Amino acid sequence: MDLQSLQSVAPPGQFPEPERSGVYRAIRQRRDIREFRDDPIDETTLARLIQAAHHGPSVGFMQPWDFIVVRDMERRRQVKALFERERQAAACFYDEPRRSAYLALKLEGILESPVNLCVTCDPTRAEVVLGRNSMPETDVYSTCCAVQNLWLAARSEGIGVGWVSILKLPQLRQILGIPHHIVPVAYLCMGHPRDFPEEPLLQTAGWRQRLPLEQLVHFDDWDNTAGGDSWPELQDALYTCTIQRS
């Protein structure tokens, strides 16, 4: 059956099943990638990924993001050195054997990946933003939505993305020449991965496990005072359905 035929049988607004499955597959198989091959990302592919990020949702259509594409190795070496200092500092928060386990984890691919991308948030992009007065943090939340757009699009393209969060913002601003009022939200390593692991790295390493969904869903209020009695079909579906793995 061709695409046009599939679209004709789908309910209004719903993607045809193969396209819908692709969305869920990208969500399920998205991974934080740390090890990359040497081959570069095609420029057109990279442009599509940045376009995908730019089409992320934002409160009041603020679009607070900017994208700094970093290939310069000297700047990347400075970011790597900053990461190493912060990684050692963070190790002090753990006792043995957790400390050694933490230091053994590979948590970045700053120099190995063909390109780094810093996604920033400009909280001053608009003087008054519709819907933001009560929750000013929505500028950062919106920027994170752009990051997720890029990440899922990258997975569909076979491109790996790794978020490097162990960085001090004042030093990162200085390395990349970012103005003081701009917030660096995500420093990403991007490239063709050596592989896409079946499970998240930290789960495979025994650092943390995925939490059971039944502990995280509440019905009508936080304390479930209604007992969830009005949601029996949703309860059954939540604990039995799975999004596509392969």
Shared domain check, 199 and 169? yes
Cβ proximity of 29 and 196 under 8 Å: yes
> Which position has the token pair 């009041």?
60
CB atoms within 10 A of CB 31: 18
- What digits encode the pLDDT tens for the residues 78-125? 999 999 999 999 999 999 999 999 999 999 999 999 999 999 999 998
- Split into its structural domains, the chain has a count of 2
Kindly state whether residue 10 falls inside one of the protein's structural domains.
no
Distance CA 94, CA 216 (A): 27
- What digits encode the pLDDT tens for the residues 172-209? 999 999 999 999 999 999 999 999 999 999 999 999 99
Distance CA 72, CA 168 (A): 20
228 has pLDDT over 60: no
Shared domain check, 145 and 167? yes
Domain of residue 202 covers: 29-209
Q: In 144-168, which positions are buried (b, 16+ CB within 10 angstroms) versus exposed (e)? A: ebbbbbbbbbbbbbebbbbbbebbe
Shared domain check, 225 and 153? no
Kindly state whether residue 24 falls inside one of the protein's structural domains.
no
Shared domain check, 144 and 126? yes
Q: What percent of the chain has a predicted confidence (pLDDT) above 70?
A: 93
7 has pLDDT over 80: no
pLDDT of residue 242: 72
pLDDT of residue 10: 65
H/E segment holding residue 115? strand 115-121
Token pair belonging to 231: 């949601």
Return the amino acid letter for 234. Answer: L
H/E segment holding residue 232? helix 232-240
